[in-house]
Amino acid sequence: MPIEYGIKGQMVNLIAAKRDPGFEAAALRWIFGVLGEPVPDQPIEQVLKNGQVLFRFLQKIRPDLVKGNVYSGELAAKQRENVGSFIDGITKLGLRQSDLFQTEDLYEGKNIPQVLIALQAVGTHLQTSNPDVPAFGPAPKHG
Task: Identify the CATH number of the domain in which residue 67 sits.
Answer: 1.10.418.10
CA distances from 71 to 31, 38, 57, 84, 114 (A): 18, 21, 14, 12, 23
Question: What confidence score (pLDDT) does residue 61 get?
Answer: 94
Domain holding 73, by residue range, is: 20-129
Considering the domain boundaries, does residue 58 fall inside one? yes
Considering the domain boundaries, does residue 123 fall inside one? yes
Is residue 82 a contact partner of residue 50, using CB atoms and an 8 Å limit? Answer: yes
Considering the domain boundaries, does residue 71 fall inside one? yes
Residue 69 CA to chain centroid, in angstroms? 18
Domain count, the chain: 1
Considering the domain boundaries, does residue 55 fall inside one? yes
Residues of the chain with pLDDT under 50: 1
Tell me how far apart the terminal alpha carbons of the chain are, to the nearest angstrom.
Answer: 44
Considering the domain boundaries, does residue 61 fall inside one? yes
Considering the domain boundaries, does residue 5 fall inside one? no
Considering the domain boundaries, does residue 139 fall inside one? no
CA distances from 18 to 23, 111, 136 (A): 11, 9, 19
